[in-house]
Amino acid sequence: MIAVQGYEGQNVAVLGLGRSGLATCAALRAGGAIPLAWDESPEARAKAEEAGIDLHDLARVDWSGVAVLITSPGIAHLYPAPNRIIAAAYAAGVPVDNDIGLFFRSFATSETIEFEQPPKVVAVTGSNGKSTTTALIHHILQEAGRPVQMAGNIGKGVLSIDPLRDGEVVVLELSSYQLELARALTPDVAVFTNLSPDHLDRHNGMGGYFAAKRRLFAEGGPDRAVIGVDELEGQFLAGQVAQAPEDARVIRISSGQKLAGPGWNVFARKGFLSEYRRGKQMASIDLRAIAGLPGAHNHQNACAAYAVARSLGLAPRMIEDAFLTFKGLPHRSQQVAEAGGVRYINDSKATNVESAAQALQAFDKIRWIAGGLGKDGGIAALAPHLGRVRKAYLIGHSAREFALQLGRTEHEICETMEVAVARAMAEAEAGDVVLLAPAAASFDQYPDFEKRGAAFMAAVQAGLGHE
């Protein structure tokens, strides 16, 4: 646990008692603060009481006696409108922060400063690929024998990590919700993977969404910035951070284009990762045979992780060896079975069109399971990738809407996951890929994308006789 510093003996209001909220209360108490905890959900309050946390209705609190309000990332604090308790804190002049801000405020202690190698923080953000990039960095460092922990949106909550060790690296996945509000952001290495429209209501448009991501680079000034430059926003961000074209504090990364110039560049093209510095090639890795990193989107993730590992002093060969043993993350281009020459891929995390497009581009001869609670525009934007699809098997609330947008692509409305998997398995031939990439949220049939992915895997195993 990271004991929160700076609030000893003071009242700290905590709004939201999910995973991060409960961890925040414990970390505040460890640092001598007095948490005043509340959640609008009776179920969450009951769990907090079971954990020994005292509850205080923040709608009735005397804000004059509160040092700061800590809120969970899922609670709106600005757009489309702030939560009523957060609005009351604003009106009373009480600062509002989150667990990420507390983490960076409390990370360095008198003990860690005395280490021979002070711990470092790598923070990863972006629209797509954050989780895989974070997990891949963690895996590379583990394989290299470096002490490392993974936290944030993946793994543990940031304040729940174990006591820090000499030379340790903490790898954080951070969302725009977390970055927008954190009052302290001081990573040693910051990573920006890419940007595509998401959470626009929460950020009042694309500009607000990008501004939230940009805070990771603007607030604390990381020692090293790894920036994907395949979109205009990434190019702008790299230009903002770099002091000159040859500034090696910025590592530009790309999937699909060769990067030129005198700086430090890492890019993947035609399945090969290349590292260039000052116009000279330093290393190359063949990514095509790495099963845990299929497709161009994973090649971008590989470039980001490679750049971070190099900035931390690891050799190219060591990174390549770690790539080969990376198994990928559950529900993200995860191969769950292979039988009769047919591969079964679970990409339940592909909850929007952009991530589904990446999945479709990663494979050929696809029997595509899609559908769920569709988003604005449906799947019309996937038309350029439908040539890879042999047949679509549509499920969930948006099945009929998606069917109208498939053009001449053969399709079947299956309604449920079990029917879709059974039909795809019955029709699949050697060389085909049965791919779950829903391009939709899961909430019409499942509580989250993990449960949806688990249902796909269970149906595949049942179809193969492995119940």
CATH number at residue 429: 3.90.190.20
pLDDT at 327: 86
pLDDT at 467: 57
pLDDT at 296: 84
Distance CA 224, CA 124 (A): 12
> The dihedral of CA 242, 245, 250, 254: what is its sign?
positive
Token pair, residue 300, equals 């971008």
For residue 87, give Cα distances in angstroms to 10, 82, 165.
21, 6, 40
pLDDT at 106: 94
Check: CB of residue 280 under 8 Å from CB of residue 269: no
pLDDT at 429: 97
User: Which pTM does this prediction carry?
Assistant: 0.85
For residue 329, being part of any structural domain is answered with no
For residue 29, being part of any structural domain is answered with yes
CATH number at residue 265: 3.40.1190.10
* pLDDT single digits (tens) 93-110: 999 999 999 999 998 886
* Co-location of 170 and 154 in the same domain: yes
Check: CB of residue 350 under 8 Å from CB of residue 365: no
Check: CB of residue 139 under 8 Å from CB of residue 94: no
User: CA-based angle 127:293:365, to the nearest 5?
Assistant: 95
Distance CA 255, CA 270 (A): 9
* Co-location of 289 and 364 in the same domain: no
* pLDDT single digits (tens) 169-218: 999 999 999 999 999 999 999 999 999 877 788 899 999 999 999 999 99
In the chain, the largest separation of any two C-alpha atoms, in whole Å, equals: 69
For residue 1, being part of any structural domain is answered with no
Q: Which of 97, 116, 151 is a domain's end point?
A: 97
* Co-location of 137 and 63 in the same domain: no
For residue 457, being part of any structural domain is answered with yes
3-state secondary structure the chain: CCCCCCCCCCEEEEECCCHHHHHHHHHHHHCCCEEEEECCCHHHHHHHHHCCCCECCCCCCCHHHCCEEEECCCCCCCCCCCCHHHHHHHHHCCCEECHHHHHHHHCCCHHHHCCCCCCEEEEEECCCCHHHHHHHHHHHHHHCCCCEEEEECCCECHHHCCCCCCCCEEEEECCHHHHHHCCCCCCCEEEECCCCCCCHHHHCCHHHHHHHHHHHHHCCCCCEEEEECCCHHHHHHHHHHCCCCCCCCEEEEEECCCCCCCCEEEEEECCEEEEEECCEEEEEEECCCCCCCCHHHHHHHHHHHHHHHHHCCCCHHHHHHHHHCCCCECCECEEEEEECCEEEEECCCCCCHHHHHHHHHHCCCEEEEEECECCCCCCHHHHHHHHHEEEEEEECCCHHHHHHCCCCCCEEEEECHHHHHHHHHHHCCCCCEEEECCCCECCCCCCCHHHHHHHHHHHHHHHCCCC
For residue 164, being part of any structural domain is answered with yes
For the chain, residues with pLDDT lower than 50 are: none
Distance CA 415, CA 404 (A): 15
Which residue is associated with the tokens 């699909």?
256
For residue 3, being part of any structural domain is answered with no
Check: CB of residue 128 under 8 Å from CB of residue 193: yes
For residue 2, being part of any structural domain is answered with no
* Co-location of 61 and 163 in the same domain: no
pLDDT at 114: 82
* Co-location of 186 and 205 in the same domain: yes
For residue 288, being part of any structural domain is answered with yes
* Co-location of 84 and 112 in the same domain: no
* Co-location of 154 and 302 in the same domain: yes
Please enumerate, by residue number, every residue annotated as part of a binding site: 126-132
**What's the domain count of the chain?**
3
* Co-location of 343 and 413 in the same domain: yes
* Co-location of 108 and 55 in the same domain: no
Please enumerate, by residue number, every residue annotated as part of a binding site for ATP: 126-132
* Co-location of 122 and 90 in the same domain: no
Q: Which of 97, 121, 151 is a domain's end point?
A: 97
Q: Which of 41, 71, 97 is a domain's end point?
A: 97
Q: Which residues pair with 329 in a beta bridge?
A: 332
* pLDDT single digits (tens) 280-331: 999 999 999 898 888 888 999 999 999 999 999 999 999 999 999 998 888 8
CATH number at residue 88: 3.40.50.720
Domain holding 227, by residue range, is 102-324
> The dihedral of CA 274, 227, 280, 320: what is its sign?
negative
* Co-location of 153 and 270 in the same domain: yes
Q: What is the spatial order of strands in the sheet that 342-346 belongs to?
A: 334-339, 342-346, 433-436, 366-371, 389-395, 411-415
* Co-location of 177 and 299 in the same domain: yes
